[in-house]
Structure 1
Amino acid sequence: MHHILCGLAANPALPSELVDRLISLADDDLADDLACRPDLSRAQVLALAERVEEGAVRLAYEGRLTAADVDPSVRPDVALTLLGRGVGVSHPEWARLLAADPAHERREKLAACPGLPSDVVDTLAADPDVRVVAELALWTADPDVTARLAAHPHAEVRRAVAANEATAPATLAALLTGEGLRAARQCLVCDREDIPFVHEPQCSRPDCDLLAGASCDGSHESTVHRTREAALRNPATPVEAVVGFVEHPSMLLRWALATRQDLPRQACARLASDLAPGIRADLAGNPAINEALIRAMADDRDPAVRRALAHHPRVPLDVLTGLAETARIGAALLPRVAAASQAEIEDLARSPDPAARMLVAHRRDLPPGIRDRLADDPDAKVAKAVAPHPGLTEARLRAMVERHGVRVLAKVATNPDATPALLEDLTRHDPAVQKAFREIARHHAAPASALLACLADAQARPTAAGHPALPPSVVVEMLADADWRVAEAAAANPSLPVAVMSDLTRRQ
């Protein structure tokens, strides 16, 4: 019965008095659903917040509770949520109170909040739990604080500083090279284990949270490595400090460079020939690489590299059409095609190569003439790509199904202008296409007859049960479905009779 109540809590047609009834019954799950309702009155918000702590946290996160509604000494988790939304500037006393909370989890959350008073920052920076200090190091926006924490004796704090984009470039360079900093004295590994120690990847200890491969021989090597990796990925780290790592023996450190957009051409060229395909793939998607390198990488033997190039915003169209034939791009509108000029759109649409026509068919703002011509395309992949385009007539969509059958059926079902009659006919297509039932079940124009057919498909059934066009009598039947997802969707269906809603809440 609980899933039924969760469905009711999400039902937009639930009367206000029944919302009150659910609030009086709410547990954590039910409160979470109720907190998302946009129609809660002020009185209902306060009643829900008073009843369930988790509901109050969600309401605070959604901006439905204000600082005036919360006593931080009584509801510290709700207060933390509001602090995370930026109320710390106007309520510094909250931060001071929570900085002394005995639960380190709350102090960690506090350390990630913006606008903390300087005295609270100092308290958190000196916290005895390194997890709290590391969280502050990761999220503070004050470069003076990160500069101070970069010299912290614990390597985990330094790693967090290296990942913070507010850290000053000079500090990041020092973390990367170690110059000007005393060596760290501790790390998470030697805090817990006798050194030398290497953490087994298949550790059997249920309470162990060390990363696979974490190690320490006294030099805290695995944390130092992660610190360098974080600094290399940090766009605030000066490029002159990172370029020397393109030849580093660590694949992970070289990989961290591949997405940087400030690398000189020579560094990009070196990474383009790296033996690790993941590095080449990330470089291929980097907006900073030039056309010459894009063309050179287009023949890369790894399909992930070619796929990444296809998604590059400045890939030349002639290269892109070649990639469309060799890389599995998927059903996506590529950035370069989205930015194509009208002349380029026309050229792609008239190309003798179906791969080129398919690329432009994924746009949803095509001129009517081009849209209709692509809908009539003899190649099924082109027709499938354009099938969801708004503005296609029922006759043209039907002709597409007649011409290409099951290859386009599901995409035709997603067309926003598909008529109820067409959607009903698609459910009767022989052979049936399972994915089409799922698309029809969520289509706003699906008629009751089509939805009844969708109920016969196990994957489409939960979606169809929540469709408002489903007859009320059928919706009521779905409440007793053996699949709880179907029953919950039916309870959330706005076509569910109010009398039934009322009866369901009275059973509790």
Structure 2
Amino acid sequence: MTRRPALLGLADNPALPEALLIRLAGDREAARALARRSGILPDPVVEVMLGHRDDRVLYLLGPHLVSAAMLARIADHPDPAVRDARAGLFRDFTERGVTTGIDDLEEAYGRSRSTLAGDPDHRIRAAVAETWWDRPADVQAALLADPVPAVRSAAARHRRPGVPPELWAACLTDPATRAHVAAYADLTTDRAMELATDPEHDVRTAVARNPTLSAEAVTVLTADPHPFVRGSIWLHRLVDEATRDRLLAQLADEAKAGDITANVALNWSFAEPEWLLDEPVATRLAYVDSPHVVFRRVLARSRDLPAPAWRRLDHDHDLLVRWYAAMRPDAPPALLLRLYRDHGDDDRQLASLRKHPDFPWAALRALADDPQPRVRALALADPDLPADLVARLAGDAATAVRRAAAEHHGLDPTVLAAMLTDEDDDVVRAAAANPRLPVASMHRIVDSAGL
């Protein structure tokens, strides 16, 4: 019997011939892996997958994976477990208030999104409001005027499509939408004070992020008893540094004393002072040495700072500050390489660094001789790495390096086939998934599985 990692790796291999795909689909676990592929599967493969009657497979057989003809056959399937598996899941999500996607809703109910926006079931209308982000203005207005509070709340919750200015006043008087709009609506002095003293802390927390707050409202909010409110207002542009320090010290003391909400407000907030990006350069430069890292992070997203400021940010002790700074168009290639080499463990950072137009691809091959396995593996991101160097890394003592080599499309097919006997399952699976794997090796894997 073949090792399972090789079989499952084949399920991810985009070069697997259709005849082998059909045989592979006969294995339940492999069928589950096939259901997570990208691209349309051949109809005969889907037919075999249906035979497992496996919910974990049936739920995934949607338009992104199955042809229109096969979708029609599934919709008319005599077995309701097959026919209704995917649509039933999305309908159940809707009834439970679990967010899906607007395409999934249309598929589940067999109707257009514009029709679903006026469905008699308020749960469906709320689901549309949560997921149809580019809905027309008339649909948004209807959802914001819906008789059910949950629908109005869902319609106002996200900044896409947002609430148009002409509806701000109405939404600020509606308990279902007030907190969602309070963060960005233009406020009069009276309305700002009204919201700053609202009995609901979520409304006060939201309005604390509003850039149009009056100074009087800011003063009220800095004295708010709820940690979430103070955890938002300390970032406001009208709060001075001394007040910021005082508010953060308060929250730290409360968190140390065991206040969970204070701990969350202090350590789990993702709010940033976006207003800083709209300030003149001279104002922004005052934050280069801010003791509050969130201000330095926003500052590093600027694109018009003078060279001395960039040098400070490029050597900031916070990784995100250095990363944001490196995304500027004229970031030095040496800086990009240093960040990639020293902190290339985060997939998001890796992807963004490699997309930079000045990323020094040619310098990656020098990393192949680094004493750290993690760094040697990073060298394999270069698609043009010489084949002999890829082959050498394929025999590296470190598992992480061999796995990265097994994924490289420049690896010699003979070396790749040999990696199917690697002692590490992840390496084997990566080798089996590589499109350069010889077809003969693919056949051996499927044959030895008895499929």
- Pick the TM interval, shorter chain: 0.5 to 0.7
Matched residue, 2:147: 149
Take 2:431 and 2:221, find their aligned partners in 1: how far apart are those partners? 54
Q: Confirm whether residue 451 of structure 1 aligns to residue 451 of structure 2.
A: no
Matched residue, 1:387: 338
C-alpha contact 1:268 1:283 (8 A) present in aligned 2: yes
Change (3 A) 1:122 1:494: closer
Take 2:82 and 2:438, find their aligned partners in 1: how far apart are those partners? 36
Change (3 A) 1:17 1:267: farther
Matched residue, 1:210: none
Q: CA deviation at 1:22?
A: 3.1
Which letter does structure 2 place at the counterpart of 1:233?
H
Take 2:399 and 2:275, find their aligned partners in 1: how far apart are those partners? 35
Secondary structure of 1:149's match?
A: coil
Secondary structure of 1:387's match?
A: helix
Structure whose alpha-carbon radius of gyration is higher: 1
Matched residue, 2:307: 346
Secondary structure of 1:494's match?
A: coil
Q: Confirm whether residue 498 of structure 1 aligns to residue 439 of structure 2.
A: yes
- Which structure 2 residue ranges, 5 or more long, are not aligned? 51-55, 133-138, 249-265
Q: CA deviation at 1:135?
A: 3.8
Matched residue, 2:42: 45
Take 1:329 and 1:119, find their aligned partners in 2: how far apart are those partners? 41
Take 2:192 and 2:435, find their aligned partners in 1: how far apart are those partners? 57
Aligned mate of 1:366, from 330, 335, 339: 330
Secondary structure of 1:422's match?
A: helix
Which letter does structure 2 place at the counterpart of 1:147?
A
Take 1:450 and 1:269, find their aligned partners in 2: how far apart are those partners? 65
Secondary structure of 1:502's match?
A: helix
Q: Confirm whether residue 488 of structure 1 aligns to residue 451 of structure 2.
A: no
Q: Deviations over 1:181-210 (max 9, x none)?
A: xxxxxxxxxxxxxxxxxxxxxxxxxxxxxx
C-alpha contact 2:409 2:435 (8 A) present in aligned 1: yes
Matched residue, 1:193: none
Q: CA deviation at 1:74?
A: 3.0
Q: Deviations over 1:217-253 (max 9, x none)?
A: xxxxxxxxxx5xx640246978576752323465444
Matched residue, 2:34: 31
Which letter does structure 1 place at the counterpart of 2:286?
V
Change (3 A) 1:270 1:29: farther
Identity, in percent, stands at: 20
Take 2:227 and 2:271, find their aligned partners in 1: how far apart are those partners? 12
Q: CA deviation at 1:451?
A: 1.9
C-alpha contact 1:124 1:132 (8 A) present in aligned 2: yes
C-alpha contact 2:143 2:151 (8 A) present in aligned 1: no
Which letter does structure 1 place at the counterpart of 2:76?
V
Change (3 A) 1:239 1:56: farther
- TM-score norm. by structure 1 comes to 0.55
Which letter does structure 1 place at the counterpart of 2:309?
L
Matched residue, 1:12: 14
C-alpha contact 1:31 1:48 (8 A) present in aligned 2: no
Secondary structure of 1:14's match?
A: coil
Change (3 A) 1:12 1:466: same
Q: CA deviation at 1:498?
A: 1.9
Which letter does structure 2 place at the counterpart of 1:321?
V
Matched residue, 1:424: 368
CA RMSD of aligned residues (A): 5.3
Take 2:83 and 2:210, find their aligned partners in 1: how far apart are those partners? 38
Q: CA deviation at 1:147?
A: 3.1
Q: Confirm whether residue 313 of structure 1 aligns to residue 246 of structure 2.
A: no
Q: CA deviation at 1:157?
A: 6.3
- TM-score norm. by structure 2 comes to 0.61
Take 2:378 and 2:212, find their aligned partners in 1: how far apart are those partners? 44
Which letter does structure 1 place at the counterpart of 2:338?
A
Which letter does structure 1 place at the counterpart of 2:426?
R
C-alpha contact 2:377 2:401 (8 A) present in aligned 1: yes
Take 2:89 and 2:300, find their aligned partners in 1: how far apart are those partners? 55
- Which structure 1 residue ranges, 5 or more long, are not aligned? 83-97, 126-130, 177-226, 376-382, 390-405
After TM superposition, the structure 1 = structure 2 runs for residues 324-339 of structure 1, keeping only pairs within 5 Å, are 326-328=291-293, 334=297, 336-339=299-302
Take 2:361 and 2:89, find their aligned partners in 1: how far apart are those partners? 59
Aligned mate of 1:439, from 372, 375, 378: 378
Secondary structure of 2:287's match?
A: helix
Take 2:27 and 2:302, find their aligned partners in 1: how far apart are those partners? 52
Aligned mate of 2:121, from 119, 124, 136: 124
Matched residue, 1:247: 197
Matched residue, 1:115: 112
Change (3 A) 1:265 1:461: farther
C-alpha contact 2:59 2:89 (8 A) present in aligned 1: no
Take 1:81 and 1:280, find their aligned partners in 2: how far apart are those partners? 47
Matched residue, 1:186: none
Question: What is the aligned length?
Answer: 379
Secondary structure of 2:179's match?
A: helix
C-alpha contact 1:60 1:81 (8 A) present in aligned 2: no
Q: CA deviation at 1:493?
A: 2.0
Change (3 A) 1:352 1:490: closer
Q: Deviations over 1:453-495 (max 9, x none)?
A: 6x43344453333233445455334434454333211211233
* Mean Cα deviation higher: 263-272 or 164-173: 164-173
